[in-house]
Structure 1
């Protein structure tokens, strides 16, 4: 544990020095007029991303299951000065929905510059109870629909030299308690989209793939699920949403939010003998 603490301290010093001399390369003007399809936009991080994109002057199609809430998000986007905001309700547990949503967005916007994949199925955040069907549902929504959406949009993104932005989780890099099925779906995202990035580069197809690894975010559902089980400080959803947008716009391969997660993942690989001890310091192992 002492070695991990020393490494974290050193990483913090380096990060502070970089922050002092670093010039922000993000240009908000680059998003003016950008055509964006954003999933999971009815609440939480997705809702906040919709507001940010509209403030930056993007043309946005938002989608989620709940039509009434989507309509409210779209109305608020208009008050923020959205150039164009459209919505299409869709349930990503249905295999036919991804292609329908992409076709709608391409038709209404005339193409796509960004496909931002952010939706997730409801997660129980509990110990594995043997429910295989629940895992199948999570894989359909959290993984297979992402693959289907990306596949349907790839041609139009290639025409625009566009970007795929995939929202994942620390649970897709580090297996954690209470997240067996959720973690499996996020690990699958990491494997598929990292491999896809390499294949696109090999084929010289100019579509960037940004994988976003997020920690605990202060959305209502996340706070409710983790209460009494996780000892972590939740980061604000609006800031997480902005970090994702910046990462996609700058075409980075991986975006960690908060930034310290990158070092956590590196230390997880470098110090395997301390993994159980580290997890036990953040999770309530007495929780049922």
Structure 2
């Protein structure tokens, strides 16, 4: 009992310190984004769409991308209505690395440079027990991970010249293993490993490009709610607020953004000290019988 108490006390003390440091720092001002040249991927709906609108209102030049061209046209039109000095789109799929590179090249052609690269897109996956299909894991890794790396490499010269920022939209599933999202979780862990390591190398090489990793809880996008709404006992946070917090984190060049904080940072603190307890709590949050088309592992 005493051992358990000590195990619980340490993360609680860590939480107090984390809350203290989180409350400090620079103040965000929308003017920080005025005139900035920004790419937002996965911007035809959800968080990406909302980020485009926030940036438009802040006076940023935006280039958005996703697969659905008609939806992108509407988002661009609204961005211009909201005050964006310029707004453009390019439609295509991020499982094609040639297309991923072409997005960055179009930004260079349109803007003559780049100040911020917001990587937000993700491939379609399922919410259920892992089905053992390795081809799906491979394709999801290409979209959710390799295209992020490809765009970062392609954008590096422009971002280096502007002391720019890379914003990587990830998930609590990229910090703590999650049931029913095995392929997705694997891609998010890969993002953490790549960009956290790259940040270290930037510092060692005196490269003044910031990398902000965004750790998100469940957000009320149509895709997420439709997939997990009946299975996960967790409130979904508003996508509009989430999008703004991501933008703030990138503008302030934060190392990581946690949203919602209590549903991301606190579980991570417990992960390292009482992992079995955390796992048990997480499993209790599922209504397994509500899984759609429930199937046995590897069936």
TM-score, normalized by the shorter chain, greater than 0.5 = yes
- In the TM superposition, what is the alpha-carbon distance from 1:13 to its structure 2 partner? 10
Q: Does 1:272 align with 2:275?
A: yes
1:42-121 aligned within 5 A: 42-121=44-123
Structure 1's 143 and 14: CA in aligned 2 closer, same or farther, altered over 3 A?
closer
Partner of residue 28, structure 2: 26
Q: Unpaired runs of 5+ in structure 2? A: 295-299
- In the TM superposition, what is the alpha-carbon distance from 1:285 to its structure 2 partner? 3.8
CA distance in 2 between partners of 1:234 and 1:38 (Å): 23
CA distance in 1 between partners of 2:188 and 2:114 (Å): 25
Structure 1's 9 and 226: CA in aligned 2 closer, same or farther, altered over 3 A?
farther
Structure 1's 9 and 283: CA in aligned 2 closer, same or farther, altered over 3 A?
farther
Q: Unpaired runs of 5+ in structure 1? A: none
Structure 1's 151 and 6: CA in aligned 2 closer, same or farther, altered over 3 A?
closer
Structure 1's 268 and 17: CA in aligned 2 closer, same or farther, altered over 3 A?
closer
Q: What is the DSSP-based 3-state SS (H/G/I as helix, E as strand, rest coil) of the residue aligned with 2:62?
A: strand
The question of whether the paired residues in 2 share the 8 Å contact of 1:113 and 1:162 is answered with: yes
- In the TM superposition, what is the alpha-carbon distance from 1:24 to its structure 2 partner? 5.9
**TM score, norm. by length of structure 2:** 0.90
- In the TM superposition, what is the alpha-carbon distance from 1:44 to its structure 2 partner? 0.1
CA distance in 1 between partners of 2:137 and 2:58 (Å): 37
Structure 1's 213 and 258: CA in aligned 2 closer, same or farther, altered over 3 A?
same
- In the TM superposition, what is the alpha-carbon distance from 1:128 to its structure 2 partner? 0.7
Q: Does 1:179 align with 2:202?
A: no
Partner of residue 146, structure 2: 144
CA distance in 1 between partners of 2:96 and 2:18 (Å): 46
Q: What is the DSSP-based 3-state SS (H/G/I as helix, E as strand, rest coil) of the residue aligned with 1:116?
A: strand
The question of whether the paired residues in 1 share the 8 Å contact of 2:30 and 2:58 is answered with: yes
Structure 1's 240 and 183: CA in aligned 2 closer, same or farther, altered over 3 A?
same
Partner of residue 286, structure 2: 283
CA distance in 1 between partners of 2:72 and 2:121 (Å): 13
Deviations 1:39-98 (A, max 9, x none): 000000000000000000001100111110000000111111111101111210112111
CA distance in 2 between partners of 1:121 and 1:253 (Å): 25
CA distance in 1 between partners of 2:20 and 2:204 (Å): 36
Q: What is the DSSP-based 3-state SS (H/G/I as helix, E as strand, rest coil) of the residue aligned with 2:131?
A: coil
Tell me how many residue pairs correspond in the alignment. 286
Structure 1 stretches of 4+ with a deviation exceeding 2 A read 1-19, 284-288
CA distance in 2 between partners of 1:16 and 1:202 (Å): 28
Which of 163, 170, 173 is 2:172 aligned to? 170
Q: Does 1:212 align with 2:214?
A: yes
**TM score, norm. by length of structure 1:** 0.93
Q: Does 1:195 align with 2:197?
A: yes
CA distance in 2 between partners of 1:161 and 1:17 (Å): 25
